[in-house]
Structure formats: structure tokens, C-alpha cells
Amino acid sequence: MFAILLETNGDWVLTLARVILGVVFFAHGAQKLLGWFGGHGLNATIGMFRDQLGIPAPLAYLAIAAEFFGGLGLIVGFLARVAAVGVAVTMAVAMVKVHLQHGFFLNWFGDKQGHGFEYHLLALALALVVIVHGAGAFSLDRALYRQVVTPNNAAGMSSVRDVC
């Protein structure tokens, strides 16, 4: 099972996509968790999720963890598929729970004040690319795969699926 999580396409474009997604989500998670980059920090964010959005605190903690730790995992390419699942679920919930009602477009100057779901849709799609294709050429996943799985294949395993 672990080998399936590490297996990745060796394409450098996946690395670029993964790192960009990771940087964006690390920054958003750091706003919520640590108050960095103009964020309000953990307690204020949990309160806002609970009081304004009706999201229970345990789910708010999971969303913040998915953004912050998922972002870190994506940046370095460690368990990138798992990190991308966290990001994808967080974006899907954000779209349905908060942003869908405001329409498609981010609209900073209109009545809807930038609440559309187009950003979330892009992030969800990019996370799905990582889930399907893996972390890319330059990642800890690829390095671990080569260290852990490739020697097993040399011992008679015919594919990654056999390791699981």
C-alpha cells in the first residue's frame, strides 16, 4: 500500500504544479494556524469557522491541518497524494459550504466581494492531478520509491502493485 502512495510520474511539470499548489496552501494554512501573512491565527479562525460558517471545531482543525501540513507535504513532495486528498476535500467543502452560493467569479469590486468558487475549482483540479499522477520528478516520494520499492522489484517483484 505504501508503494502506491510513493509511485509517481517522473515529469518535472508535476513537480512545478505540486510545489505551486503547496506554496499556496501552506500560506493559507499559516494564516489560519499561526496568524502569518496577515492571518488571524488559530483561535480566531476556529471561532469564525464555527460561528459564521457553522463548521464544528474538529472539522475546522482538520481543514487548517490539510492546508498547512498538506501544503508542506506538497512543497517537499512527501506523501503528496495524501496531502493532495486533504487539499481536494477542503476545497470541495469550501466550494459547497461557502462559495457556490456566490457564483463562479472572484469579484473583488461587485456585490459579492470576491466569494466566487473559481479559485477553489482550480485548486481542486490541481490537487486531482497530483492524486492521479503523483508528486513528479523532484520529490521525496520519488526518492523513497526508488530506495524502498525498486530493490524489492529486483528481488522478483514484477510491479509496484506486487509490493502492496
What are the pLDDT digits (tens) for 30-56? Answer: 999 999 999 999 999 999 999 999 999
Residue 97 scores a pLDDT above 50: yes
Find the domain containing 11 and state its range. Answer: 2-154
Instruction: Tell whether 96 is covered by a domain.
Output: yes
Tell me if 30 is assigned to some domain. yes
Average pLDDT, the chain: 88
In a domain, 160, yes or no: no
161 within some domain: no
Number of domains the chain is built from: 1
Residue by residue, DSSP assigns the chain as -HHHHH-----HHHHHHHHHHHHHHHHHHHHHHH--TT---HHHHHHHHHHHH---HHHHHHHHHHHHHHHHHHHHTSSHHHHHHHHHHHHHHHIIIIIGGG-SS--SSSTTTT--SHHHHHHHHHHHHHHHH-S-SSSHHHHHHHHHHHHHHHTT--SHHHH-
**Within-domain flag for 119:** yes
Residue 21 lies in a domain: yes
* pTM score: 0.85
- CA-CA distance, 142 to 42, in Å (whole number)? 33
pLDDT classification of 156: cutoffs 50, 70, 90: very low
Q: Is the pLDDT of residue 159 over 60?
A: no
Chain segment 111-128, per-residue pLDDT in tens: 656 688 999 999 999 999
Report yes or no on 131 lying in a domain.
Answer: yes
Q: Note whether residue 61 is domain-resident.
A: yes
